[in-house]
Chain A
Amino acid sequence: MTGAELASMLTAALAAAGEPEAEVYATFAKRGFARFAVGELGQHMQLEDPSVVVRVARDRRVAEASCTVLGEQAIADAIRTAARTAPSVPRDEGFPGFAGPDEPNPLALARHSERTARASAEERVELLSPVFRRIRAAGLLATGVLDTTSRIEAVATSHGLTRSYESTLATFKVWALESAGGSGAAGHGMCAHVDLGALDLEAQTELAVTDALRSRNAGSLPAGQYDTVLGALALAELVEWLAMIGLGARELEQGLSPLSGRLGQRITAESFDLMEDPLGAHAFAAPFDREGVARRQVPLIRAGVAQGVVHDRTTAARAGVGSTGNASAPGGFGAGGPSPSSLVVQGGSAESVDELIGGIERGLYVRRLHYVNGYLEPRRAVMTGLSRDGTFLIEGGKVTKPIESMRFTDSLLEALERSDGMTRALTVAPNWWSAGGSVAAPAVRIRGLNFSSGSRQK
């Protein structure tokens, strides 16, 4: 099925149901997912993710129904189910109606690769074979994922708006482990691209092997404040959490967001710029949201000043602004309101991570983070989490030895206030809770990051 065929199906279902105020959003993802662990390809899967979500409004009473059958009859039935429910729902005075054909057209973004879409089980095995060999040759254990996903999505409303899109995404994540179960040294590599052929599996595997080998016999450090270089993936994870707790209009309305009451004020370092940029080279998302609204660039923090949050049509109507094209896809994690799809932290001037490390007399280099949680004190963006897959002591501007996992607890915004360097280059990481979502971030140097626990001991 093509995106255009899916859109036609939605339009036909809307016509068959005959509801005057209705919206249908449908997606179908086909994923070839090769998940390997401890040198064995134990979960190699062909996955299908169909989803149809309809909304029907009657006199501003809005009800939603969903199904997983991509067929005109089933979708029309879902519309009728929502229509039966709507009269019982209290009126939502802020409901602006569903989008119509006057909604501006989204940009034509090419995010589809035939090679990714057609990748077979044999091809994934072929690509993984040298990965397994390299890691085994280093005396380590290979763990990770090679995911080749093709996806179509479409939106149609009873007011005549129709959108469709086809995209692909290939993702490779690899760990080289000293021992099964993760209790020894570990190294990690990751890359993602629309085109499977553009992934550099060899380079990422080499990175994982190198970090695992230099992480052996890790020492320990006490709790305290350390000048720290956070790798790009570590910063990306913190920014993902910032998005979850505070970059959507819903959190702003509820008073939960660190931006609540602070729009127009400086909330972090002047060097920090954060943008929702679904149109740029670092994004994977469709150019429209589930309401059919074109996605666009949205400055969120510029030169350290809080600029705004992302909106869907309903929160935008309440705020008296336009939707930014960020209606959340159903079924995602988080509070359920609008959320960013494609975050980009602007890079700095450092040519490499080593350059950032060179500016630290004694401190830490943290490659990745684990189990970050940002619900501690959302208004200050206080977060906690652990380092993993490479934590290193920096002495005299150089990495000198590996360190066991440590826990940080700090306000992200206050920590960024103390940042004094970022790499020019960004790393883009797909997020794990929404299709097409991503964060692109540089590595960053933060002065005096608060590590609330010393290295773990069994």
Chain B
Amino acid sequence: MAAPAKARDLCSAALRRAEQHAQVTHVEVRWLSEQSERLRVRDGAPDGISSGRSAGFSVRLIASGAWGFACTGEAAEAAVHRMVDEAVAIARASARLSEKPVRFPPRAGEVGEYSTPLEIDPFTVPLETKLADLATPEAELRRGGAPIHSAEAWMHWTAVDKLLMTSEGTDVSQRLVYGGVGLSAIAVGSDGRMQRRSFPGFPGSEGQQGGYEIVARTGLMAAAPRVRSEAIELLGAEQCPEGVRDVLLGSNQMALQIHESCGHPTELDRALGAEISLAGGSFLQPEDLGKLRYGSEIVTLTADSIAPTGLGTFGWDDEGSPARKAPLIERGVFVDYLSSRETAAALGRESTATVRADGWNRVPMIRMVNVSLEPRAGSLEDLVADTADGILFDVNQSWSIDDLRLNFQFSCELAWEIKRGKRVRLLRDARYTGMTPRFWQSCDAICGPEEARIWGLMLCGKGDPIQSMAVAHGAPPGRFRKVEVGHT
């Protein structure tokens, strides 16, 4: 979809303004407009029905060999001129502290348009329909009353229109539409113990690119009775015993495992030290490329910005690099990073096209796209049947990993104990922990494509000021041998 004429005119005006500054060697001007809608129903009552719009311009440029960034929410020529002048002034000031000028590799400009394929535009669906699609399953969660103490269901929709014009001749317009729907039930026992069950994943986190057809595909109503009964069953379950067991990860938890232990450590800006001030660094260092055994032979992970329905799918990233699919871990070996043009060039490589900003007023940076585990063969039930003594974890509850992305600990809402190839009981408060390369090296089975799906993660935090990005992970279930498990 083409950007509005006024936005295009003002981006052009900003480019022309930058060209008037002799010190400027590279310019990117962005316009971004976002429409959003959030709905939540809790315990039979509305709990936040909101809609929003946000729009503005930003410029990132190199002047006197240093970066400058500025933005404005004002759609006027004087405002975008002022924005460019501010960015130039910032770059010139910063240049005084630079030891070496920015090395930004040139590339040919890209021209084109991209839109999310969708069946039903979510912003055309009546509010009454949306609320009914939430209220019915939410009421189902509360049917029967105690020990269900509270229940909620939510839905969110976003449409982003953006235009990127650069001094290299790039002129790309994109429209990305995505959303998600989910529910959760909280059960509280007579002893005050609490258990939460959520569907399809961590509350508020799930999302996919597409339209309102996502609601029917997700199937809240079909899931609600199971979610309710599992929440109640967990109240009486035994705690997960401490020990070393084989661990199976369901598709949803596998997505979180990929996110934290592969997605983040393969961000090249982290590896080079640019993200220490909030998120930390990475154990995957440039000298490890092509050498470090990250996982077992069956582990291949990719950076994929072309997968249908993925929240990390687009036509071009925010530096104008075209979408692509490339391996990060190939047959267990660390082979590439999520990178930008500048960081990739520092290693003599090409960008893997992962640069995005979460709004018009934030600087674009390396973000996960769809970082996905390549499926192998077999079903989850095959895997359960093939496991003598293990625990199947699914649906994340808590997550924590160290500043190098090595030492992780995750707990899940669901933990099924497996004995002699059968699920024998649910365990509560279950967690597993490990060190990233050792964990992935212990992976001895990955299920097939029929078990894999792309999970969205709506709120991936990175940057300072923090930016919240929608990313995704293709995740088949898998098995890991001899993992430390226990309870919280």
Contact = CB atoms under 8 A, between A and B. Distances in A.
Interface in B189-219: 192-194, 196
B93 A122 contact: yes
B276 A177 contact: yes
Given A64-B51, A143-B277, A456 B488 contact: no
A182 B281 contact: yes
A388 B407 contact: no
- Among A33, A46, A385: residue with most chain B CB under 10 A: A46
B224 interface: no
A356 interface: no
A125 interface: yes
Interface residues of B, number: 87
A2 interface: no
A110 interface: no
Given A35-B277, A62-B46, A376-B488, A182 B93 contact: no
Interface string B119-131: 0000000111001
B98 interface: yes
A388 B407 CA distance: 12
B45 interface: yes
A48 B58 CA distance: 10
A181 B282 contact: yes
A26 B131 CA distance: 28
Interface stretch (B14-22, B23-31, B160-168, B392-400): B392-400
A92 B273 contact: no
Contacts of B435: 456-458
Q: Which residue among B41, B52, B87, B131 has the maximum number of chain A CB atoms within 10 Å of its CB?
A: B52
Contact of B194 (A255, A388, A405, A457): A255
B409 A384 contact: yes
Contact of A432 (B131, B193, B466): B466
Contacts of A261: 192
B409 A452 contact: yes
B280 interface: yes
B93 A254 contact: no
Interface residues of A, number: 96
B310 interface: no
Interface string B136-153: 000000000000011000
Interface in A84-104: 85, 88-90, 92-94
A143 B71 contact: no
A220 B423 CA distance: 38
Interface in B376-398: 397-398
Interface string B395-427: 001111111101101010000000000000000
A66 B51 CA distance: 6
A78 B54 CA distance: 11
Interface string B46-70: 1111111111100000000011111
Contact of B55 (A68, A81, A333): A68
B94 A89 contact: no
A39 B45 CA distance: 53
B51 A144 contact: no
A458 B407 contact: no
A69 B56 CA distance: 9
B67 A42 contact: yes
Contact of B69 (A45, A64, A382, A384): A45
Contacts of B52: 65-67
Contact of B361 (A49, A63, A120): A49
Nearest to A184: B281
Q: Which of A41, A63, A378, A407 has the most CB of B within 10 A?
A: A41
A261 B100 CA distance: 60
B93 A88 contact: no
Interface in B95-124: 96-100
A135 interface: no
B273 A379 contact: no
A288 B41 CA distance: 28
A284 interface: no
B188 A376 contact: no
Interface in B303-322: none
Contacts of A180: 272-273, 281
Interface string B446-471: 00000000000001000011100000
B272 A409 contact: no
B201 to A, nearest CB: 13
Contacts of B398: 373-376, 384
B33 to A, nearest CB: 10
B186 A254 contact: yes
Contact of A125 (B97, B273, B285, B362): B97
Contacts of B131: 88-90
Given A44-B68, A175-B276, A386 B400 contact: yes
Interface string A7-50: 00000000000000000000000010111111111111111111
Given A94-B45, A386-B400, A388-B403, A41 B97 contact: yes
Interface in B270-316: 270-278, 280-283, 285
B466 A125 contact: no
Interface string A367-395: 00011111111110010111010000000
Contact of A68 (B73, B399, B407): B73
Contacts of B402: 370-371, 386, 388, 405, 407, 456
B409 A89 contact: no
B451 to A, nearest CB: 27
A132 B67 contact: no
A173 interface: yes
Contacts of B192: 260-261, 379
B277 A173 contact: yes
Nearest to B431: A376
A301 B89 CA distance: 49
B363 interface: yes
B93 A256 contact: no
A10 B99 CA distance: 47
Nearest to B288: A458
Interface string A395-427: 000000000010101000000000000000000
Nearest to A336: B48
Contacts of B98: 40-41
Interface centre among B40, B48, B49, B404 (most CB of A within 10 A): B49
Interface string A206-240: 00000000000000000000000000000000000
Given A432-B466, A457-B435, A371 B403 contact: yes
B283 A90 contact: no
A88 B128 contact: yes
A128 interface: yes
A452 B404 CA distance: 18
Interface string A50-78: 10010000000111111111100000001
A337 to B, nearest CB: 9
A70 to B, nearest CB: 8
Contact of B433 (A49, A141, A385, A453): A453
A46 B90 contact: yes
Contacts of B263: none
B475 interface: no
A33 B465 contact: yes
Interface in B73-87: 73, 86-87
A121 interface: yes
Interface of B: 40-41, 45-56, 66-73, 86-87, 89-91, 93-94, 96-100, 126-128, 131, 135, 149-150, 186, 188, 192-194, 196, 270-278, 280-283, 285, 361-363, 365, 397-404, 406-407, 409, 411, 429, 431, 433, 435, 437, 459, 464-466, 488
A-B CB proximity, top 7 nearest: A182-B281, A180-B273, A64-B50, A66-B52, A376-B488, A121-B93, A375-B398
Given A41-B67, A92-B46, A386-B407, 4 more contacts: A41-B66, A44-B66, A68-B53, A88-B128
20 contacts: A35-B277, A37-B273, A40-B99, A47-B71, A64-B48, A81-B51, A82-B51, A89-B46, A90-B131, A121-B93, A144-B277, A173-B277, A182-B281, A370-B280, A386-B400, A407-B433, A452-B409, A453-B409, A457-B435, A458-B283
